[in-house]
């Protein structure tokens, strides 16, 4: 089985971050024309440089996905430069743990907007383009926090649960139009997003050792699943929320 994205255009948001960068590098290595997007221009450029150094093809667009016009702009850019989109990978997102009572109205809006609304707006912009082309794939990075509650991640988890539901809805409403939609749900992966664990007893190392496989996920663990799910080899996988978490979702945590 060989995964080949030659001739395919792939949008990846959050491409300056850990999972987005690993995914951008892998899709480009597999032959895709990658449209890499992030709000952080400097980190986005590092991703583009790494792809270019590896001989891959990528273009960048700086965009804030929480702005519906900017999210739409990424899709328009892909259409104008590459003539359409084959894969939209909604990956930008994130949260810092905060107790529920300490989440302000502004923070609620920001978390919802980044982790749910942005995925909705980009997907709704991409769908008609994919329908016109006769097919496509939408992938979203959600989180285990969208299935099980995690202390301090109430709004983030609710937003990710919304994305899981949105992917399922796209899957059933657009399946006959050749479009598949799936979600990838990591648990804690070793990226900048979980550095706050350093301030907990045992730190990141102790947390990693307590995981079912004794380690955290790597960005590459997520990227390889994304490359498979968006490929024709997963052509009958539609509407799933796939945990890529080393067994975390399978584990029942018993107090004590
Ligand atoms: N790392 C984990 O433990 C973990 C676990 C579960 C789910 N996730 C999810 O994985 C995805 C990728 O996260 P990561 O771990 O690579 O973290 P990361 O912080 O390394 O990457 C996130 C990227 O999103 C970008 N971003 C943030 N706000 C943006 C905006 N408004 N517009 C455009 N880009 C924006 C950031 O600049 C950053 O480059 C996120 O959706 C996150 O929720 C991560």
Interval between CA 39 and ligand 1 midpoint (Å)? 11
Cα 60 to Cα 39: distance, rounded to the nearest angstrom: 11
- Domain CATH number, residue 62: 3.40.50.720
Question: What's the confidence (pLDDT) of residue 199?
Answer: 82
256 found inside a domain? no
* Ligand 1 binding pocket includes 125 (Cβ within 6 Å): no
Whether 200 is covered by a domain: the verdict is no
For 182-218, write each residue's pLDDT tens digit: 999 999 887 777 788 888 888 889 989 999 999 999 9
Q: Whose CA is nearest to atom 40 of ligand 1?
A: 93
| DSSP string over 190-246 | SSGGGGGGGGSTTHHHHHHHTSTTSSPBPHHHHHHHHHHHTSGGGTT--S-EEEEST
pLDDT of residue 201: 84
**CA–CA gap between residue 249 and residue 38 (Å, rounded):** 29
183 within 8 A of 241, measured Cβ to Cβ: yes
* Positive/negative CA dihedral, 148, 153, 159, 163: negative
pLDDT tens-digit profile, the chain (256 residues)? 999 999 999 999 999 999 999 999 999 999 999 999 999 999 999 999 999 999 998 999 999 999 999 999 999 999 999 999 999 999 999 998 999 999 999 999 999 999 999 999 999 999 999 999 999 999 999 999 999 999 999 999 999 999 999 999 999 999 999 999 999 999 988 777 778 888 888 888 998 999 999 999 999 999 999 999 999 999 999 999 999 999 999 998 766 5
**Token pair belonging to 141:** 């990075």
**pLDDT of amino acid 119:** 98
124 within domain boundaries = yes
Q: What distance in angstroms lies between residue 143's CA and the mean position of ligand 1's atoms?
A: 11
> Is 252 domain-assigned?
no
| Alpha helix segments (H runs only) across 7-140 | 18-29, 41-53, 68-82, 105-112, 118-133
147 and 167 Cβ atoms separated by less than 8 Å: no
What is the C-alpha to C-alpha distance for residues 194 and 121, in angstroms, rounded to an integer?
A: 27
Structural domain contains residue 249: no
Q: Which atom of ligand 1 is nearest to the CA of 65?
A: 32
Whether 61 is covered by a domain: the verdict is yes
Does ligand 1 come within 6 angstroms of the Cβ of 43? yes
d(CA 112, CA 123): 16
Q: How far is the CA of 233 from the centre of ligand 1 (A)?
A: 26
Please report the pLDDT score of residue 256 as a whole number: 56
Confidence (pTM) = 0.97
Residue 113: give the domain boundaries: 9-187+222-244
- How far apart are the C-alpha atoms of 72 and 124, rounded to whole Å? 9
Domain count, the chain: 1
Calculate the average pLDDT of the chain: 95
Q: Please state, in angstroms and as integers, the Cα–Cα distance from residue 5 to each residue in 26, 50, 91, 224, 228, following that order.
A: 10, 18, 19, 13, 11
């Amino acid at each position: 089985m060989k995964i080949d994205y030659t001739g395919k255009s792939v949008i990846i948001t959050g491409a300056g971050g850990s999972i987005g960068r690993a995914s951008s590098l892998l899709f480009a290595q597999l032959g895709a024309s990658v449209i890499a997007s992030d709000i952080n221009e400097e980190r986005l450029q590092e991703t583009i440089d790494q792809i270019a150094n590896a001989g891959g093809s990528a273009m960048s667009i700086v965009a804030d996905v929480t702005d519906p016009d900017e999210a739409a702009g990424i899709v328009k850019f892909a259409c104008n430069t590459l003539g359409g989109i084959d894969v939209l990978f909604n990956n930008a997102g994130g949260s810092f743990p905060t107790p529920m009572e300490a989440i302000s109205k502004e923070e609620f809006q920001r978390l919802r907007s980044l982790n749910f609304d942005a995925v909705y707006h980009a997907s709704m912009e991409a769908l008609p383009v994919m329908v016109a082309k006769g097919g496509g794939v939408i992938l979203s990075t959600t989180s285990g926090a969208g299935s099980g509650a995690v202390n301090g991640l109430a709004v983030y988890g609710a937003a990710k649960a919304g994305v899981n539901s949105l992917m399922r809805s796209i899957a059933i409403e657009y399946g006959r139009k050749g479009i598949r939609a799936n979600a990838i749900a990591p648990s804690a992966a070793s990226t900048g997003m979980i550095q706050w664990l350093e301030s907990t007893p045992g730190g990141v190392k102790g947390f990693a050792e307590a995981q079912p496989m004794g380690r955290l996920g790597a960005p590459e663990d997520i990227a390889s699943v994304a490359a498979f799910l968006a490929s024709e080899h997963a052509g009958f996988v539609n509407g799933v929320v796939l945990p890529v978490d080393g067994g975390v979702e399978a584990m029942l945590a018993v107090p004590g």
